[in-house]
A and B are shown apart, each in its own frame.
Chain A
Amino acid sequence: GAVVSQHPSWVICKSGTSVKIECRSLDFQATTMFWYRQFPKQSLMLMATSNEGSKATYEQGVEKDKFLINHASLTLSTLTVTSAHPEDSSFYICSASPSGGGELFFGEGSRLTVL
């Protein structure tokens, strides 16, 4: 199957700092990537849809100024958690589909802990 890679796999930061997470499609181009957040023992919640060359589409309740998304190329989307606080601690996972539809492949996920 297609490969989606995410980096870093885990990060610990101090409250108030910003953290950038990268999502790369290694063997295919993705005009659209999706960012999810998963709290412990909970389901995956779609945060935003990242569109190459245009603005991301955010789900209701997700602050676009706090979660900055940049999809500058067909193989890379980045999520920046700005001024992170302890309540932002979560597992962030990206996904993409090679064909623009059908099976979604997930990155390894990035576990963010804000102290």
Chain B
Amino acid sequence: GENVEQHPSTLSVQEGDSAVIKCTYSDSASNYFPWYKQELGKRPQLIIDIRSNVGEKKDQRIAVTLNKTAKHFSLHITETQPEDSAVYFCAASILGGGGADGLTFGKGTHLIIQP
């Protein structure tokens, strides 16, 4: 099955600086890579996703890059703000064939924005 590794487990950055979280996956058949933000005690919220036919995607301060050859993808948050503090999870799955596939999650990164 799929295995997703995520680093770092904790990341502390100064407000206004950039944050980068990296993930690797093992199954070359995976073609969908979402990133979720989870605040304490709440449900995960999708913040951005990328499919394997795209190398990079950006949405305001958030961007994701994908390297299919190396099987890794990264989340980039620029101009970090206090409200960005949360746990971020990367995930991977296989879409297609008319059905959904369960996501395999990384272990999460606790992002701390220092004022």
Contacts and interface: CB of A to CB of B under 8 A. Distances in A.
A43 B9 CA distance: 11
Contacts, number: 62
- Interface bin, chain A: 20 to 34
B105 to A, nearest CB: 5
A93 B108 CA distance: 16
Given A42-B107, A43-B89, A43-B108, A104 B100 contact: yes
B106 A43 contact: yes
A72 interface: no
Contacts of B108: 42-43
A109 B99 CA distance: 23
B105 A106 contact: no
A108 B102 CA distance: 18
Contacts of A42: 107-108
Contacts of A108: 42-43
B103 A32 contact: no
Nearest to A48: B102
Contact of A34 (B43, B46, B103, B107): B103
Interface stretch (A12-20, A63-71, A77-85, A94-102): A94-102
Nearest to B45: A106
A104 B101 CA distance: 10
Contacts of B95: 101-102
A104 B33 CA distance: 11
Nearest to A34: B102
Interface of B: 1, 32, 34, 41-46, 49, 89, 95-96, 98-108
